[in-house]
Amino acid sequence: MNVVFGANGRAGGETARALIERGAPVKVVVRRPEQGERWRAKGAHVAVADLYDTDQVARALQGATAAFLLSPPPLAGDPFSQATQLGEALAEAVGRAELARVVVQSSVGAQHDAGTGVIATLHTLEKALAGTAPAIAFLRCGYFVETWSEVAEAAISEGVLPSFLDVDQRIPMVSTMDIGVAAARLLTEEWQGERIVELSGPRDWSARDVATAFANVLGHPVEPVLIPPEQRHGILTDEGVAPEVASALLGMYDGLASGRVTREQGTANWRGSTPLQTAVKRIVAAVHAAA
């Protein structure tokens, strides 16, 4: 049995779908019972657990051979102290479950313990989980293409793509569709030891590349627009992001701009197959469907 946490999120959901498509037995772990109904309809088992609760996580992992673990997006409070708590809870639960394989969603840049903003929380998680299973892989993903869904409305209605990234800086990006495929592969193949796999799309992309993909999908020009650093914290907090979380998120963009958030030498580098325009087309379709 493969246990997938975060199934109602982007990467967790794609991992569960990829496992189901492979015909692998899947148990998804959700925070509330009603979130599991759509997964039951797909043939998955469902468990309910809070990732920060060791006992609940251990029960969800009972009888499993492999698990996909991740850190939920921070919503409030100090993301860095929360990462320490999460790492301790998950490490103990994995140890109790005696899993054969664990795949941990991480990020490009997680080799650093500072200077990367919120990504440093994944450094903490990697350190806590290292050695907790005979086979453990840290799947360090690039910037999610699907993150651009948060500004897709502006691209659709105004022809602009607001960006916290330098519009011409190419960075590792990846669609969550490719994350699901890679995670399912690691969960179901036989291997031993600790692995670091850095995952990005078919090539590195910039905000300008993303804007071009939106333009091609929408059939009208879309221009990338860099948001000045001094405006960013206010924009995030005005949208309801907690101040401490906003600072951690913006630290990630500072790390990307400085080049600190980059691949680590000597690790495995995998490339996904999903074209940028394919991922953007799905974003646009979702926005239209929700309208």
- Provide the 8-state DSSP code for 37: H
Instruction: Name the burial class of residue 27, with classes exposed (0-12), middle (13-18) and buried (19+) by CB atoms within 10 angstroms of its CB.
Output: buried
> What confidence category does residue 68 fall into, taking pLDDT thresholds of 50, 70 and 90?
very high
pLDDT for 209: 98
**pLDDT, the chain, mean:** 96
pLDDT above 90 covers what percent of the chain? 98
* pLDDT for residue 250 is more than 80: yes
pLDDT for 263: 97
* pLDDT for residue 28 is more than 90: yes
Q: What's the maximum distance between 2 C-alpha atoms anywhere in the chain?
A: 55
115: left (phi over 0), alpha (psi -120 to 50) or beta: left
Instruction: Name the burial class of residue 154, with classes exposed (0-12), middle (13-18) and buried (19+) by CB atoms within 10 angstroms of its CB.
Output: middle
pTM beyond 0.75: yes
Give me the mean pLDDT over the 119-147 stretch.
98
pLDDT in tens, 196-228: 999 999 999 999 999 999 999 999 999 999 999
Class of the CATH domain delimited by 2-290: alpha beta
* pLDDT for residue 23 is more than 80: yes
* pLDDT for residue 291 is more than 80: no
pLDDT for 271: 98
Give me the mean pLDDT over the 90-115 stretch.
96
* pLDDT for residue 259 is more than 90: yes
pLDDT for 18: 98
